[in-house]
């Protein structure tokens, strides 16, 4: 019974929030919910493909994680799944009205995860220039993320001290 009360309360709160939104905010909400559903479907497909490949490697091909190609395949898929999950998480935050729009920090974080994935799946004979370019991009995104986090931490600290 308590769960029904909570569901009813959440539904009522959603209706109140929806009625207070502008037309464009409602449009954003609908787009966020649809994107969330699409990405959830992609995550499920990726997860089943990952399970299938790992199962095939374990049973049929005698899984050898020390083999560079096997490592690239499995961990590349895992990191792709993590990227999709982070995208979904950021969209859910918008859908739950915790954030008004996709946050720059989240986009930068997803970019860092994507670059990390790229490093994992790089062939051993890749050119030094490509490694340097990827390293530079990683450094730039990491520095930007750190600066944004510092700004947010400073703002939160100022707001906390302002209340006292």
Q: What is the DSSP string of 127-158?
A: -HHHHHHHHHHHHHHHHHHHHHHHHHHHHHHH
Number of neighbours of residue 77 by Cβ within 10 angstroms: 19
pLDDT recorded at residue 127? 93
137 close to 119: Cβ distance less than 8 angstroms: no
Residue carrying structure tokens 């009522």: 12
pTM for the structure as a whole:
0.68
Closest CA to 51 of 64, 43, 95, 143: 43
Please, what is the average pLDDT of the chain?
82
Dihedral Cα 4, 5, 6, 9, nearest 10 deg: 120
109 close to 103: Cβ distance less than 8 angstroms: no
Helical residues (DSSP H) of the chain, grouped into ranges: 2-20, 23-59, 68-95, 104-121, 128-163
Which pair of tokens denotes residue 11? 């539904």
Using 50, 70 and 90 to split pLDDT, how confident is the model at 119? confident
Q: How far apart are CA 148 and CA 87, in angstroms?
A: 19
Using 50, 70 and 90 to split pLDDT, how confident is the model at 44? very high
pLDDT recorded at residue 1? 46
Q: How far apart are CA 89 and CA 150, in angstroms?
A: 22
């Amino acid at each position: 019974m308590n769960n029904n009360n909570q569901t009813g309360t959440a539904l009522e709160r959603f209706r109140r929030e929806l009625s207070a939104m502008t037309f464009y905010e409602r449009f954003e909400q609908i787009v966020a919910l649809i994107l969330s559903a699409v990405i959830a479907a992609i995550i499920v497909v990726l997860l089943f493909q990952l399970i299938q490949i790992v199962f095939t490697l374990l049973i049929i091909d005698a899984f050898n994680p020390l083999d560079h190609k096997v490592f690239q395949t499995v961990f590349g898929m895992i990191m792709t799944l993590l990227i999709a999950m982070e995208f979904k998480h950021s969209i859910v935050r918008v859908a739950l009205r915790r954030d008004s729009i996709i946050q720059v920090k989240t986009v930068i974080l997803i970019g860092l995860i994507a670059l990390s994935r790229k490093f994992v799946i790089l062939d051993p004979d890749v050119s030094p220039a490509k490694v340097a370019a990827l390293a530079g991009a990683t450094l730039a995104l990491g520095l930007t993320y750190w600066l944004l986090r510092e700004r947010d931490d400073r703002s939160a600290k100022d707001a906390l001290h302002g209340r006292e």
